[in-house]
Amino acid sequence: MIVEERCYALKPGTVPLYYKDYDPRGLQIQTRILGRLIGYFHTEIGVIKSSISGDTSRSPSASAGGRCLPPTRRLKNSPDIVVKMVSRILVPAPFSPIK
């Protein structure tokens, strides 16, 4: 089994808009092409960085990566909400229940 992890960095406050477009349109396309979906998640905050003074700040967690864009970015009348996308192929450990 091949497991692909895709991480999209979206503009703040646009997760509901992304989900509204992705389900049902994007999900239907992805399932038809890639098969079974294991999960779909979003985070509430990004990476927490600690500075020397002990202060913390939030920063985007995704970095530049793959070229495949989600459906929302391609909609004619949709705002450009995707900032970055990263795609990785994950290899399960020998003891992983997903193989």
H/E segment holding residue 10: strand 3-10
Domain presence at residue 13:
yes
Domain presence at residue 85:
yes
Show Cβ contacts of residue 61 under 8 Å, excluding neighbours closer than 6 positions. 7, 9, 43, 46, 47
More confident residue, 74 or 28: 28
Domain presence at residue 46:
no
pLDDT digits (tens, 9 = 90+) for 14-26: 999 989 888 878 8
**Rounded CA gap, 90 and 6, in Å?**
10
Of the pLDDT bands very low, low, confident and very high (cuts 50, 70, 90), residue 1 is: confident
Number of domains in the chain: 1
Domain presence at residue 16:
yes
More confident residue, 94 or 99: 94
Domain presence at residue 99:
no
pLDDT digits (tens, 9 = 90+) for 34-86: 888 888 999 887 666 554 444 333 333 333 333 344 554 454 555 688 899 99
Q: Which domain holds residue 66?
A: 3-41+59-90
Structure tokens at 2: 């091949």
Domain presence at residue 26:
yes
